[in-house]
Amino acid sequence: MLGSLLLAGSRVPFVRRAVSGVPLTRKVVDRFVAGETPQDAVEAVRRLTGAGLTVTIDHLGEETRDAGAAAGTAQAYTVLLGALRELDLGDRAEVSVKLSAVGQALGADGDKIALENARRICEAAHAAGADVTLDMEDHTTVDSTLGVLRALRGDFPRTGVALQAYLFRSEADCRDLSHEGSRVRLVKGAYAEPASVVHRDKAEVDKAYVRCLRILMAGGGYPMVATHDDRLISITELLADRFGRSRGDYEYQMLYGIRTDKQQALAGAGHTVRVYIPYGDDWYGYFMRRLAERPANVAFFLRALGGK
C-alpha cells in the first residue's frame, strides 16, 4: 500500500516540489544516485570497476516533452561515453537509456525521434567498446520500446532491453527475446500500473519473475538477472546448473548503493555483477521508485529527515 502511494505521488507536481525542497533529501538521494555530473559518474565507475564490479550508467531523466531536451540527453550520453572510452573498460561499462528521455513521449514523431537519438548513443557506445541497454518504463511504452530495439539491433545487435516480470505479457516477451545473442535484463517492475496489466501481489510477482527467468535461462540469449533477493539469486544458480550455463553466460545486476555487501560477495565468487549507476539532477522519479520498492528505504529517509 505504501509503495503504491509513493509511486502515485511520484507523478504529482506538488509532492515533487515538497520532497525536492527538503534540504536533507539530498543526503538520502546520495545513497542511491552517484552525483549530478559526468565527472561524478566516472568517479563512481572507477571506484566500482576497481573493486571488481562492472557497471551500467543511467543519465537520469524521463518523459521529456521537448525535442531540444531529448537531443540534449543524447548528447550527455555521448559525452559520458567519450569519457568511458578513455578508461578503456570495454563491456565492463555500458549505459542504460530510457527512451522517454530521448524523445519517445513527443507525440506522433516520438518513436522516430527516440530511435534517432538512441542510434547516436549506440554509435558512441560502439566507439567506446560498450553496450547499450534500453530501460523499460510503464506498460504503455512496451511495444514502442521493443520496436526501437528491433530497429537498433539491425546495426547494433548487442543492444539489450529490460523486461518487467510483473507485466502479464512479459513471459511471451521473454520467449520472443530469448534467442542467441539477445541481452535481456529481467526486473520485477517499479511503476504504478493498473491491475489489468500487472501482478500486484508480491508473491505473484516473485512467481512471475521465476517463470520469466526460467525462459531466459533455458534460451540462447544472455540473461541479466536484476535482483537483490537472496531467494531469487539461489533460484538463478539452480537454473544455471540445470541449463548448463557457466558464470560467464549470465550476470547479476544490482542498484547503486543497495546491498553492496552482496555485490562484492557475488563478484568474489566469480560472478559478473553489474551495478546500475544513476547520475544527473533529474533524480526525483528514480528516487521515489527506490523508496517504493523497500520499506527499509523509507525508514532510512525518515531517519535522515529526523536527523538521526
Name residue 99's beta-bridge partners: none
Q: Which of 158, 183, 185, 290 is catalytic?
A: 185
Is 120 noted as a catalytic residue in this protein?
no
Query: What are the distances in angstroms from CA 284 to CA 5, 21, 61, 133, 163?
Result: 15, 11, 9, 21, 22
Is 185 noted as a catalytic residue in this protein?
yes
Q: Which of 58, 111, 131, 135 is catalytic?
A: 135
Q: How long is the chain?
A: 308
Beta-carbon count within 10 A of 82 CB: 13
Q: What is the DSSP string of 192-253?
A: ---TTTB--SHHHHHHHHHHHHHHHHHSSSEEEEE---HHHHHHHHHHHHHTT--TTS-EEE
Is the distance from CB of 31 to CB of 257 less than 8 angstroms? yes
Which positions are catalytic? 135, 185
